[in-house]
């Protein structure tokens, strides 16, 4: 596919609010597979029309970058096969249980753990063995495309994973 034609296709989707694409999405969009698709995507990355966020995940390169880009990258990688929710330091900070502002997007998942360094920041996924039905009840949609842990769930996740213990202790000493 011609690079200009491919750019028009992804620009069209970006105007409709779609800014994160998997290789599979691009294959369907461009009607290409294999080497031909790789060449088209490589040309788009070279021109800055796409930014490689993770293996097989690309973000539209125009400014402003799509909202909640890291969350959308996670959704593109993990799909609906796993339950993923914002927890640990991100949720603890949002619920004013710690004062430190997290630099990474910290998530819990029923899938495998991962540490993803993207051009848009670090994404940390920690595995949980909790029942997804219980997680649905203890999370809520606050902002963005992913659910957030309740304060009690975020504290339990931190305690189970051994994360943010010093931050929680400092908060409890300072604010009771």
CA-to-CA distance for 174 and 157, rounded, in angstroms? 22
Confidence of residue 162 (pLDDT cuts 50, 70, 90): confident
Q: Phi and psi of 110, rounded to 5°?
A: -80, -5
Residues 53-62 have a mean pLDDT of 95
CA-to-CA distance for 131 and 3, rounded, in angstroms? 46
Question: Lowest-pLDDT range, 35-49, 68-82, 102-116, 133-147?
Answer: 68-82
Q: What is the DSSP string of 47-87?
A: HTSEEEEETTEEEE-SSSPPTTHHHHHHHHHHTTSS-EEE-
Whole-prediction pTM value? 0.86
CA-to-CA distance for 26 and 14, rounded, in angstroms? 13
CA end-to-end distance (rounded Å), the chain: 62
**Number of residues assigned to the chain:** 176
Is it the case that residue 172 has pLDDT exceeding 60?
A: no
Is it the case that residue 175 has pLDDT exceeding 70?
A: no
Q: CA 85, 133, 114 angle in degrees (round to 5)? A: 35
Give 2-53 pLDDT, tens digit per residue: 989 999 999 999 999 899 999 999 999 999 999 999 999 999 999 999 999 9
CA-to-CA distance for 59 and 50, rounded, in angstroms? 5
Contact 88, 157 (CB under 8 A): yes
Give 72-100 pLDDT, tens digit per residue: 999 999 877 789 999 999 999 999 888 88
Residues 134-148 have a mean pLDDT of 94
CA-to-CA distance for 144 and 137, rounded, in angstroms? 18
């Amino acid at each position: 596919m011609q690079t200009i034609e491919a750019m028009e296709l992804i620009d069209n989707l970006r105007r409709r609010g779609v800014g994160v694409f998997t290789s599979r999405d691009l294959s369907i969009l461009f009607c290409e597979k294999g080497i031909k698709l790789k060449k088209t995507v490589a040309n788009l990355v070279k021109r800055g029309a796409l930014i490689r966020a993770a293996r097989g995940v690309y973000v539209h390169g125009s400014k402003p970058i799509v909202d909640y880009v890291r969350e959308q990258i996670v959704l593109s990688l993990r799909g609906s096969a796993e339950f993923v929710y914002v927890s640990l330091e991100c949720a603890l900070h949002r619920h004013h249980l710690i004062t430190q502002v997290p630099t990474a997007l910290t998530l819990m998942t029923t899938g495998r753990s991962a540490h993803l360094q993207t051009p848009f920041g670090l994404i940390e996924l920690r595995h949980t063995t909790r029942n997804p039905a219980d997680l649905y009840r203890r999370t809520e949609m606050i902002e963005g495309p992913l659910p957030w842990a309740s304060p009690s769930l975020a504290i339990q996740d931190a305690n189970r994973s051994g994360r943010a213990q010093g931050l929680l202790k400092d908060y409890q000493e300072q604010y009771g």
